[in-house]
Structure 1
């Protein structure tokens, strides 16, 4: 049974969510939509646990995979706001060991826009324990980049959090989770956690890889292979993993919290602007670089932490999680799931809301959006009618 609510005008969203469970494409998920400062959809269905004894509820936390990355970026930007870091100072000025292998010109800006040349951990890290964050940081510091920093981009699929953590530790002595827990999380009012505390563990959903997908044959496989285990239920469902910080992938969150955050991304009087200040807020939500992303295999635009085109500001995660702000309709949406498969489920939800989750460069998107019409309110009205 689907539990929760969908306001008038959002019946089609509930219908799609119900169908995904009826067809067996979903085993446990949460869906939330926020608009004009309030939640207009909050739906839950399926199970939280692998034994299917505990229903998914509105308070269920689940690992979001790469939806984690914008929050890593916010941790770095909070430190920039306080003057502890600078976007364009070489990382090696804070972390001297990082200069090895030709990385002496890498900046925090390169890292946040996925241009540092380290989209994956080096082969030297292949046998490392995924929970050994010190060894993983050291491996990144010692490795040569895969391309000259600043000359190309590719999502730093597994390395994003460890890079920012290494920079923070070297510059300030604080860890990624220190800044998130003390500054970012309370400032934004998030029900989302790195290193899930003991008292929140009972809310966490077990992840379940789909048997219909051979993960070793997916295009993303080379970027996730080192260190091994990020799709392994034995690891990702363990207490040790849930209470660790693997910043690129293991933020645990509710759908409502993610949708509520994305809905307020552009608010000039919102908590995000208060946390970052006007300049960094603008850099977090506007395109900073557009080009071919070698990991995604397509042209796209990165902000300092998010993907943006003319239709949305968004981030998705391997396994099917997705969160976005619709620039045409003004709603924030999050679809979070424990059933690790593709993004077709979130895409079908997006379609009935009038959104498109295709990843394209912002400049390429312009013509499409102009033809679709420029009146956002008219589009939103039509979406509510559907």
Structure 2
């Protein structure tokens, strides 16, 4: 299987590494995009987009990158902050009354966005719920006590992040996460990315597949991903119903090119993210907010409001191997999106070819 696409002068090693990953059997279907100075300098495709291997991976193939989705949930929440419907440091229970049960009365949107709200997983009471039971899952978070006092510990809110933001938006702004993303955020940023894929784009969506049958059982983050059941089940995540739903923590469907372009403009003072949020919120989005041991990752890291940040990069990844980042050192952005669910070794090798280090990218 040969890698298709282009890599401009100076980026040939990215093509070589992707071809090596294919030749070694570590990758069978993926897209890679690199942007620099406002243009795409690498666009590579490998393999097939479907389980039947009848649709080649194309430039416009959409794939679900799991937790990389959370960065766009953050932007949607901040759009509501910009409009005055929400505030970062006021209790969300002030507007979302049902959420203010004992232990959560003072939980703020900032704590939610930085994974310190004390609800890193859905409660046991939600175990019998269907993952597409949006109302039931949201209500389970309303009723549940936090696992720890909000603001006192850190652990990525692996599956709950989108439902928490959606609940706050419904209560404070009279809109949903999906509506605000599609009506405001997506057009403002020019994204080919969807929470709920429209009918005419369903044929572009890639099927997810495990690299090994036991892949879900090997995950460090598995205890935070078990409720509700089905989020790691490809029979569910490859269904039309899932692709056209909104499960904000995981199920954005996007292309490698669109994702890399977004990251390439993330820090720009004249870019669309700053244009959407304004200077103050743009600064809040990118600033280091909390550094500590993240229980879900099992390592120490620094969160901004929507990304993992260190001296070399601003990044976000998803369980299964997809990742995207803006290189603070080298001034380029890269997105590596895959449908072969495995670890982040592949993205890390692409990063090395670019002179970057993906030691921590946000893996769930």
CA drift of 1:217 comes to 3.2
**Secondary structure of residue in 2 paired with 1:100:** coil
Alignment size in residue pairs: 361
Partner Cα separation in structure 2 for residue 209 and residue 103 of structure 1: 37
Partner Cα separation in structure 1 for residue 359 and residue 317 of structure 2: 11
Which consecutive aligned stretches of 4+ in structure 1 deviate over 2 angstroms post-superposition?
none
Structure 1: stretches of 5+ with no match in the other structure: 362-386
Partner Cα separation in structure 1 for residue 215 and residue 295 of structure 2: 21
User: Is structure 2 residue 251 aligned with structure 1 residue 250?
Assistant: yes
Other-structure match for 1:366:
none
TM-score by length of 1: 0.92
Where does 1:225-304 land on structure 2 (aligned, <5 Å)? 225-304=226-305
Contact 1:27 1:46 in 2 (8 A): yes
Going by fraction, where is helix more abundant, 1 or 2? Answer: 1
Partner Cα separation in structure 1 for residue 325 and residue 236 of structure 2: 28
Contact 1:49 1:206 in 2 (8 A): yes
Where does 1:14-93 land on structure 2 (aligned, <5 Å)? 14-93=15-94
Contact 2:91 2:106 in 1 (8 A): yes
Partner Cα separation in structure 2 for residue 76 and residue 10 of structure 1: 36
Other-structure match for 1:176:
177
Contact 1:101 1:143 in 2 (8 A): no
Superposition RMSD in Å: 1.1
Superposed CA deviations along residues 23-70 of structure 1, whole A, max 9, x for unmatched, are 221121000000011100000010000000110011100001000001
**Secondary structure of residue in 1 paired with 2:153:** coil
Other-structure match for 1:149:
150
Other-structure match for 2:211:
210
Partner Cα separation in structure 1 for residue 7 and residue 331 of structure 2: 17
Partner Cα separation in structure 1 for residue 350 and residue 206 of structure 2: 21
**Secondary structure of residue in 1 paired with 2:55:** coil
Superposed CA deviations along residues 104-138 of structure 1, whole A, max 9, x for unmatched, are 01000000000000000000111100000000000
Other-structure match for 2:328:
327
Partner Cα separation in structure 1 for residue 306 and residue 277 of structure 2: 13
Other-structure match for 1:379:
none
Contact 2:28 2:340 in 1 (8 A): yes
Partner Cα separation in structure 1 for residue 144 and residue 275 of structure 2: 37
Where does 1:117-156 land on structure 2 (aligned, <5 Å)? 117-156=118-157
User: Is structure 2 residue 70 aligned with structure 1 residue 106?
Assistant: no
Contact 1:213 1:341 in 2 (8 A): no
